[in-house]
Amino acid sequence: MSSPPDSPGPEVPGPSGLTMAMTLRDFARGPIPMIEGLQARFGDVSRFRFAGSTMWQFGDPQLIEEVMLRKAGEFVKDKITHELDDLVGQGLLTSEGELWRRQRKLAAPTLQRRHIQAYAEAMVRFTRAMTAEWGEQSDRAFHHDSMELTLRIVVKTLFNLEMAHEIDRIGRAIEDGMDAFHERVHTMWRFIKDYVDPPLQPVHNRAVETLDDVIGELIRERQRDQSPGDDLLLRLIQARDDEGHAMSDRQLRDEALTIFLAGHETTALAITYALYLLANHPGAQQRVHDELDLRGGDLGANAANDLPYLKAVAQEALRLYPPAWIVGREALVDVEVGPWRVEKGDQVIIPTFVVHRNERFFEDPLRFAPSRWLDGLEKRLPRFAYFPFGGGPRVCIGNHFAMMELVLVLATILGEYRVEDLSESAVELDPSVTLRPKGEVPLRFVRRA
């Protein structure tokens, strides 16, 4: 790691000498200490050399808006994101250019509000099936429970399956693939992986083979049997572009896997962190219980609008622990961002986790305060001060699905149970593609009187 050559524009802050050593020390501790350290030492803009690339970190919403929205066409996904290509292929997460534009136009309608409302019943039903096993009191390794729950939900909504052995295999394969990704980009193997295969490379290869086999067969079965249904896979199969062409089998595989990945772990994390926060803030939890008791009745697709405080809890959990904790871009051409010149090939870090905790935008930013969202805060914030689902043309197309699922699952659990934290210390983070907890999140669920 070293300071890059000067470029036109104002002098760019960045680590050198002692601060370079401090940044290296931070990286050894993990990527979050690194991005927090850069923000603390240099502010909203920093530039440095790392792993053979010139890196920029932008923490100012106006600069982020330039990269993600106003000049989005001058950037592509960064090198780290494209490390996922071998696993998820060329779905919406990783594809670029004309392919991405075509696929987004085909896939986006499948997740519009009018389509996803049909999934509310399955979300509530699977959550009730989970809590039915808890009895009067149950101590849970809850992140595991949450992952299993969202797996069942995404399997139902994507493939119209209640559960199957093949789907268990997909879940394990994705987990193996994510572990291998973490090894390649967030450990010292990042610096030598081009010369020596990391230890988990064979695990990664087996995961790709499994995903190709299982998802490929599910696609072929649905192509043979196109009986009416609400599943996303059928909508993807039946989608046509402006010339009347359907997706290829490979593209169906990549988009199905991308939806599977995005709709599984990210939502599970949001549910886990929201319950962890409520367990540590009994006043906020009681307010949720009161709101649920006052509303009563069955929960439906409009739960987020019917339960404003619970929606605020979800928003606050996504602020403090955004599952998509970082955004990466690479400059396609030399481009001006603010007064600075970002050169072709430069890598850009947009640290969502850090921006969401900036005191310029959020009073007492480390405090869990759902009520901050009840007075129109989101409309007053700069556009990219709060962006848990990304933004610009590459905003997550499943954001409405995810928020509906998050609120419905929380409402179903908290309508029946009070939650307590069993951990002896604050949750530790283990960021990879998503903002995972390090180890389990032990929670106790006690049936409400």
Annotated binding site for heme: 396
At CA 76, angle to CA 98 and CA 63, rounded to 5? 130
CA-to-CA separations, 242 to 25, 235, 397, in angstroms, rounded: 52, 16, 20
3-state secondary structure of 122: helix
CA-to-CA separations, 280 to 275, 372, 426, 430, 443, in angstroms, rounded: 9, 18, 10, 20, 10
260 vs 154: CA distance, rounded Å:
6
Written as one letter, the residue type at 159 is F
DSSP 8-state secondary structure symbol assigned to residue 431: E
Helix axes 249-279, 97-107, angle to 10 degrees: 70
239-248 long-range contacts (CB < 8 A, ≥24 apart) are 239/106, 239/107, 239/109, 239/110, 240/106, 241/102, 241/105, 241/106, 247/103, 247/106
The backbone torsions φ and ψ at residue 322, rounded to the nearest 5 degrees and listed phi first, read -70, 120
Please name which of 424, 428, 444, 426 lies closest in space to residue 436, comparing C-alpha atoms: 428
106 vs 241: CA distance, rounded Å:
6
439 vs 424: CA distance, rounded Å:
13
Q: What b/e readout covers 64-101, taking b as 16+ CB neighbours within 10 angstroms?
A: bbbbbeebbebbbbbebbebbeebbbbbbbbbeeeebe
437 vs 320: CA distance, rounded Å:
13
288 vs 412: CA distance, rounded Å:
11
Pick out the residues of the known binding site. 396
CB atoms within 10 A of CB 425: 5
3-state secondary structure of 325: coil
34 vs 323: CA distance, rounded Å:
18
